Amino acid sequence: MRDADNDGIVSKQEFLNTMSKVWDARAKKMGIQGDRMKSAEFDEFAKYLRADA
């Protein structure tokens, strides 16, 4: 998880910013267009998040 300002706290905004970047990077690798994915694709995305945590 990205503590962007290195204050030792992950704020909701930092979390959301991180998730947005991870979403974009992962969606690109999965060949997904636009800002949405199918439920099955999200399941795959969620598995990736758990593996990366």
Q: Which residues are within 8 A (CB) of 27 and not within 5 positions of it... i.e. 6 or more apart?
A: 37, 45
Q: Which residues are within 8 A (CB) of 2 and not within 5 positions of it... i.e. 6 or more apart?
A: 10, 14, 17, 18
Q: How far is the CB of 37 from Ca ion (least distance, A)?
A: 28
53 sits near Ca ion (criterion: CB under 5 A)? no
Site size for Ca ion (CB under 5 A): 4
19 token code pair: 């998730």
Stretch in the footprint of Ca ion (CB under 5 A) among 5-13, 16-24, 31-39, 45-53: 5-13
Chain positions contacting Ca ion, by CB under 5 A: 3, 5, 7, 9
